[in-house]
Chain A
Amino acid sequence: MPVKYGVPSDPDYNERLAEFEARIKRGEKIEPGDWMPEEYRRQLIRMISQHAHSEVVGMLPEGAWITRAPTLKRKMILVAKVQDEAGHGQYLYHAAETLGVSREAMLEALLAGKAKYSSIFNYPTLTWADIGTIGWLVDGAAIKNQTMLAACSYGPYSRAMVRICAEETFHHKQGKEMVLLYAKGTPKQRQMAQDAINRWWWPALMMMGPHDQDSPNTEVLVRWGIKTKTNDQVRQEFINEHAPEILEAGLTLPDPDLRYDEKTGNWLHGPINWDEFWQVVNGNGPMNKERLEARRRAHAEGAWVREALEAYAAKRQRTAVAV
């Protein structure tokens, strides 16, 4: 693919930028090899690689519960879900690679602790009900964001998102089913579900990122059709769908200020603890160190598999040449 990333010092930059923005306005997808501003490319790599890392790290809190699933059915569901997350990471690394960054470089940044991933995965999964709650709230929040990104202007990212959304809907539904069953179950099951909702509600709201006025990238992302909604809009959609469903199940939400606003039709939330958000983003969450160590350990322990595959490929290559 030819590399055509425009910078403002290019003599034809303004002219090409106008064409590029007109294409986006017409609803055309930008594809690899098409002219694009370097800043568009940079923002996409930043977002897509963070997103890919989130899928990969997201396997860890749930993977820990595979051996402890209460029934075979729940175990098969959880295995399939964790396998999906691995696949989603791969779809996304591929989408980022179409912008000229290598998969190895992205993985290296993750293992070196230089790359960001969604802070939600730096919280611990303390009980089995956390697995249902992650599906319902965390995947529910992710789907809201991903549905928006499925309409984004960059072809490979939007295709990855359409696939991911279709699969994530299963993650969301299985989690919701589980929590609703526990809400109707024994007092102990109800309590377990409530405890999980209490711990995951606020971190789920933080997943959409800072408020619009504190989100410096939003303006350019919206203009170039990478995002089609702002963080606060996506957060509002998530609350409007999930708050009434949780309350209807007879569970409560840990927000004394939460209320339905007749005028706008929105469920309004109380203040979000952004100090906690930034603490976790900057590496001081409950599980940051453990997650990174688990990734590094998995990479190191998989080294012999990679070596064996390379040795086998090299042997076949020699055989092929000899023939």
Chain B
Amino acid sequence: MDTQWPRWEVFKQDSPNKPHQAVGSVHAADPEHALLTARNIFARRPQAVSMWVVRAEDIYSWTQEEVAEGQMTKGESYQAQVGQYLVFRKTSHKRSMTFVDYVGEVEAATPEEALKKAQATFTDALALAWWIVPADRVYKSDPSPETIQSWFAPAKDKTYKQQQYYATVGSHISKHKVGRGVEDEE
């Protein structure tokens, strides 16, 4: 293959009061490209107000098992860096639509120290996975109202992309409906 672009994890915020959630990844040449691609892939429906992207290699992640076994260091990519770290956490694996959610920031000298601080700070739920990201590695969509409008509002007007737009079709949908709906559909 002629291009091997880095992989970027995408964090999407559905509404101002909800956390950014890890929804998937894109491949892109630079942060701007990653954000544009993320928008095209993860915000075709009106469920977003903000997006962040982080290169996959800049994310330090720990599973519950690693934490339990004390496997704290993360190998060669592990770099000491004093500053702010963003903390993401997954707390449920019971249903499909559970994500690694943003919970807050801590100040630390290394990702490992950031993890320890995160464990001490965010104690309201058991973490099944922790992701720690140096704050300067996070690229965010522009928070200005104009950008939010131009990036995320157009999807709202495209009502023909919603199944409800076609709800009046066929008088006998319920009559022939078999089986149940999609598990925890958004």
Do chains A and B interact in one complex?
Answer: yes
Question: Which residues does A use to contact B, with CB under 8 Å?
Answer: 1-2, 27-31, 33-35, 73, 76-77, 80, 83-84, 87, 90-91, 94-95, 97, 103-105, 107-108, 147, 150-151, 155-156, 158-163, 165-167, 169-170, 172-174, 176-177, 180, 237, 240-241, 244-245, 248, 303, 306, 309-310, 312-313, 316-317
| B4 at interface, CB cutoff 8 A | yes
**Please, which residue of chain B has its CB at the minimum distance from the CB of A158?**
B96
User: 9 closest pairs, A vs B, by CB?
Assistant: A173-B166, A313-B29, A313-B30, A104-B1, A158-B96, A169-B163, A177-B169, A94-B24, A33-B63
Cα of A156 to Cα of B162 in the assembled complex, Å? 24
**Known: A33-B61, A97-B7. Is A170-B178 also a contact (CB below 8 A)?**
no
Cα of A108 to Cα of B3 in the assembled complex, Å? 11
Q: Is the CB of A29 within 8 A of B98?
A: yes
CB distance from B132 to the nearest CB of A (A): 14
**Please, which residue of chain A has its CB at the minimum distance from the CB of B178?**
A240
**Please, which residue of chain B has its CB at the minimum distance from the CB of A236?**
B178
Cα of A309 to Cα of B93 in the assembled complex, Å? 38
Q: Is the CB of A309 within 8 A of B128?
A: no
Cβ < 8 Å to A, chain B residues 133-184: 158, 160-163, 165-167, 169-170, 172, 176-179, 181-184
In the complex, which of the residues A76, A77, A94, A107 contacts B1, with contact meaning CB atoms closer than 8 Å? A107
**Please, which residue of chain B has its CB at the minimum distance from the CB of A104?**
B1
Q: Which residues of A contact B3 (CB under 8 A)?
A: 104, 306, 310
User: Which of B3, B24, B181, B184 counts the most chain A CB atoms within 10 A?
Assistant: B24
- For chain B, the count of residues having a C-beta within 8 Å of the partner chain is 56
Q: Which residues of B contact A309 (CB under 8 A)?
A: 28-30, 33
Q: Is the CB of B183 within 8 A of A162?
A: yes
Give the secondary structure class of B's interface.
loop
Give the secondary structure class of A's interface.
helix
**Known: A169-B163, A306-B2, A306-B3. Is A103-B184 also a contact (CB below 8 A)?**
no
| B117 at interface, CB cutoff 8 A | no
Cα of A116 to Cα of B136 in the assembled complex, Å? 41
Q: Which residues of A contact B66 (CB under 8 A)?
A: 2, 33
Q: Which residues of A contact B41 (CB under 8 A)?
A: 87, 90-91
**Please, which residue of chain A has its CB at the minimum distance from the CB of B186?**
A166
